Structure 1
Amino acid sequence: MRNLIPTPFQPFRARFLLFHCKARRTQHYHTQFRDFSCIASRRSHTQGDDSMRHIYEPIEEVEKLESYRAGGYHPITIGDHIHSRYQVVHKLGHGTYSTIWLARDQKHNRYVAIKVCTADSNPLEFSVVSDLSSSQQSSSTSLGKTMIPLMIDRFEIQGPNGTHPCYVTAPARMSLSEAKDASYNRLFQLEVARALSAQLVLAVDYVHSQGFVHGDLHYGNVLLQLPFDLSQLRLEELYKKYGEPAFEAIRRFDGQPLPRNIPSRAVLPMWLGEASDKTELPEAKILLADFGEAFSPTKQKRFESHTPLVGRPPEARFEPHKPLSFPSDIWSLGCSLWEIIGQNSLFDGMFATADSITCEQVDALGILPVEWWYKWEGRHGKFAEDGTPINREGNPHRSWEVRFEKDIQEPRQRKKMPLIEPAEREAIFKMLKSMLEFRPEDRSSAKQILECEWMVRWALPEYEKIRGV
């Protein structure tokens, strides 16, 4: 068993392995450019069935080892040289379709993050990120471009599991979900939550203006930028400050030798982050990451959403034959803003199923559109035909207002944080409810959200305070 004593910059990590990793991180992994995609229904690997069987002893905070197979991860370890230029010095994280590494760019003497994708990852991600980060379009949406990772380099590498696309960006600090997981109260300071929300809407507005749907919006795919330059540290200084790489031996359940397409040791990710409640306003600058599910509705038709259930748009379930488009992002964006402002998700994701999430949505937002309502068999035994909740002893009805008090106001009050005053509360309600309309065509656009009262009076002014810092 590896040592769980925290480093000076990891004060929360050990105890969260014991509590939050079990209770709250069931859908979160430490990544810098999150594929996140830890929901089982996300697109499945098609080559072989090793990724579906348990072959290796699992290691916490490490990628699924069965995915080291044809079409899967590329085996990498500390000290490797990638593309004859980048020396791997630490691990930043992983997602279902990539591992992410901190490397020293020996050409420019700086630290970079390298996302090494699985051989069967979505090839469109590279073109989407490249288009978004290099667009020369001048418009009111250009501010959001600063919240898209800038691609420094891109290339492919060959390995025992196939050909792996790679791209290089500046390292990020942590995701918003990781920041909350590192805090006992799982809250951002109110001014920080406002600034984060404003930036996320600006980023989505920019992505939409360029003709793309992100396709996987949630606060696990929103990264906080590093508030300092890692490159000023020599390697020994980096290790002294953040800890040297930690390893765990990889073992098969059957005791057989490891195949050549998997490393002999797993590398545990480093921690560059800070707890959400300790994050200060000048540090609250974001990057919107993981465009592995992004698409252009004018060029591709996408019918299935792989966004985690708590933020998945309901039309993906009730109108599966209609292609998804920009409004699907808006629903997920609304759910993400709630999680940034509050302590927990708007819809309870613990042991979530499609029916339990729909039940949560109806409790909070009211009855489904009539054609969806009668299509939904799960309503029986939970609701009367008019949408009134019934037989709810084990799963009590929680209205929108109750959720706001329990998830946002009361946790802030317990921690002696400023509460949201009535005027701001009503402005938040109006904005979020315009985003969480059941029918996609009834939702506000990202541009309209930027013009709403809460953005104009509360969120954007907080972002303006740090914009030039």
Structure 2
Amino acid sequence: MSHSPKDDFSHHLYEFIEEVEKLESYCVGGYHPITIGDSIHDRYQVVQKLGHGTYSTVWLAQDQKFGKYVAIKVCTANSNPHEFSVLSELSTQQSSSISLGKAMIPSVLDRFEIRGPNGTHPCYVTIPARMSLSDAKDGSYNRLFQLEVARALGAQLVLAVEYVHSQGFVHGDLHYGNVLVQPPFDLNQLPVEELYKKYGEPDFEAIRRFDGQPLPPNIPSRAVLPVWLGEASDNLKLSGAKILLSDFGEAFSPSKQQRFESHTPLVGRPSEARFEPHKPLSFPSDIWSLGCSLWDIIGQSSLFDGMFATEDSITCEHVDTLGMLPPEWWDKWEGRHDSFTEDGKPINRNPYRSWEDRFEQDIQEPRQRNGMPRIEMAERDAIFKMLKSMLEFRPENRSTAKQVLECEWMVKWALPEYEKIRSI
């Protein structure tokens, strides 16, 4: 009986290995077994592992044809190749006007399929990235970007989303884990041996079954741990802060298809996904998630507390921060009785944190503690105005990506920092 990688296995077949994909997903329909040294498509020599997702593993390889490093995303056999189509259309689109955001969309350099014991796997090749913004923060003790870097990152992310929207697509899964940092130098200058000296040799760990039985042929004998090409967020320099917006597996075109369910993590999931489940999602759903992502970039922690998050706990966070829900949503929300009076005053909770509290505790105080400048009042007010226009409960009331680009914070603070690195 075959299983998909998303199945909830009643028991685990293999001993757990941290930082490695779910090993039970090496099954029919699942991951393709790959290891260092493999030749993919008779052209790409695998030299390191970059990471994994639910539906793919990602590898750093040397293109034997051109002698360059590339990233190869090898998808599970039962994955939807939809992402290829979206990326190809976005990266080749001939826009009537020049869009800076197009430069933040990964170009598909090659596309093919490989066959193995678990099925036929779609693969696509792009330029490699160093890390995601979430990885950069995880690698930092203080989980902060320098202010000029945060501004440039925010500007690029808005530019990328505006371009995606201008081409008729909703990204559908915006969060800072899907924002990648490009290498600050030409990685191709490093021979493989030098790459290993700089970033470390490939790291393996033996895969073992709990029952001690031999491994089946559809799983590798050793797991490859991902290499760390990045650096801590607070060490990232402005010159190295160019991004790529990745993972278009949830992208869709509202004019061609209707999407009612959001798979964005709860901390950045738009409120209408819960309270208007019968209305199709559209561009404003990205704007909500974009606003949450911008806070993640500027601050130390998320705007809404995702620790042990449930739909009710996140809605409580929304109301604490942004005020009462629209009346029909408020009446529909049964969980409100445990946390609020009928007129929206918080009860049974300590501490209650307002918008201003969160800005002070998550952005200003951590920056000050770590020797970084606090955000000046004028810039703070501009950030407030921008984010609140993006985090309106009713999707029709939110700013568009184009309007966000025109707001005061983008024009006076964010875009000027990006302009400093555009030509690098």
Sort the TM-score into its range (normalised by shorter chain).
over 0.9
Query: TM-score with structure 2 length normalisation?
Result: 0.98
Amino acid at match of 2:416: P
CA distance in 2, matches of 1:75, 1:127: 25
CA distance in 2, matches of 1:194, 1:67: 39
Distance 1:273 1:314, change over 3 A: same
Amino acid at match of 1:444: S
Distance 1:49 1:274, change over 3 A: closer
Q: Is the 8 A contact 2:77 2:119 kept in 1?
A: yes
CA distance in 1, matches of 2:413, 2:422: 15
CA distance in 1, matches of 2:361, 2:218: 49
- The C-alpha deviation readout for 1:100-140, integer Å capped at 9, x for no partner, is 00111000011110000111212210000000111111315
Amino acid at match of 2:339: K
In the TM superposition, 1:236-385 aligns within 5 A as 236-385=193-342
Q: Is the 8 A contact 2:14 2:23 kept in 1?
A: yes
Amino acid at match of 1:85: R
Paired residue secondary structure (2:73)? strand
Amino acid at match of 1:456: V
Q: Which residue of 1 aligns with 2:387?
A: 432
The answer on 1:157 being equivalent to 2:124 is: no
Q: Which residue of 2 aligns with 1:186?
A: 143
Q: Is the 8 A contact 2:69 2:127 kept in 1?
A: yes
The answer on 1:91 being equivalent to 2:49 is: yes
CA distance in 1, matches of 2:7, 2:390: 40
Q: Is the 8 A contact 1:52 1:66 kept in 2?
A: no
- The C-alpha deviation readout for 1:254-307, integer Å capped at 9, x for no partner, is 222211111110001111101110101011100000001101111111111000
Q: Is the 8 A contact 2:325 2:393 kept in 1?
A: yes
Structure 2 counterpart of 1:117, from 56, 60, 75: 75
CA distance in 2, matches of 1:225, 1:419: 27
In the TM superposition, 1:141-152 aligns within 5 A as 142-152=99-109
CA distance in 1, matches of 2:82, 2:7: 25
- The C-alpha deviation readout for 1:65-122, integer Å capped at 9, x for no partner, is 1111111111100111110100111101111110000111000011110000111212
Q: Which residue of 2 aligns with 1:215?
A: 172
Q: Is the 8 A contact 1:50 1:67 kept in 2?
A: no
Amino acid at match of 1:356: S
Q: Which residue of 2 aligns with 1:420?
A: 375
Q: Is the 8 A contact 1:50 1:69 kept in 2?
A: no
CA distance in 1, matches of 2:238, 2:334: 46
Q: Which residue of 2 aligns with 1:133?
A: 91
Q: Is the 8 A contact 2:339 2:349 kept in 1?
A: yes
Amino acid at match of 1:327: P
Structure 1 counterpart of 2:157, from 200, 207, 232: 200
The answer on 1:401 being equivalent to 2:356 is: yes
Q: Which residue of 1 aligns with 2:34?
A: 76
Q: Is the 8 A contact 2:5 2:55 kept in 1?
A: no
Distance 1:47 1:220, change over 3 A: closer
Amino acid at match of 1:163: T
CA distance in 2, matches of 1:129, 1:239: 31
Q: Which residue of 1 aligns with 2:412?
A: 457
Q: Is the 8 A contact 1:53 1:66 kept in 2?
A: no
Paired residue secondary structure (2:338)? coil
CA distance in 2, matches of 1:282, 1:46: 42
Deviation at 1:50, TM superposition (A): 6.9
Q: Which residue of 2 aligns with 1:9?
A: none
Deviation at 1:51, TM superposition (A): 4.8
Query: TM-score with structure 1 length normalisation?
Result: 0.88
Q: Which residue of 2 aligns with 1:225?
A: 182
Paired residue secondary structure (1:104)? strand
Amino acid at match of 1:117: C
CA distance in 2, matches of 1:48, 1:464: 42
RMSD in angstroms over aligned alpha carbons? 1.2
CA distance in 2, matches of 1:418, 1:120: 49
CA distance in 2, matches of 1:52, 1:410: 45
Amino acid at match of 2:248: F
Amino acid at match of 1:281: L
Structure 2 counterpart of 1:56, from 8, 14, 22: 14
Amino acid at match of 1:286: I
Amino acid at match of 1:260: P
Q: Is the 8 A contact 2:270 2:288 kept in 1?
A: yes
Amino acid at match of 1:68: Y
CA distance in 1, matches of 2:145, 2:360: 16
Q: Which residue of 2 aligns with 1:67?
A: 25
Specify every segment of 5 or more residues in structure 1 that has no aligned partner in the other structure, as ranges.
1-44
- The C-alpha deviation readout for 1:325-376, integer Å capped at 9, x for no partner, is 0000000000000000000000001111111111101100001111111111
Amino acid at match of 1:166: C
Amino acid at match of 1:175: S
Q: Is the 8 A contact 1:50 1:66 kept in 2?
A: no
What percentage of aligned pairs have identical amino acids? 81
Distance 1:339 1:316, change over 3 A: same
Specify every segment of 5 or more residues in structure 2 that has no aligned partner in the other structure, as ranges.
none
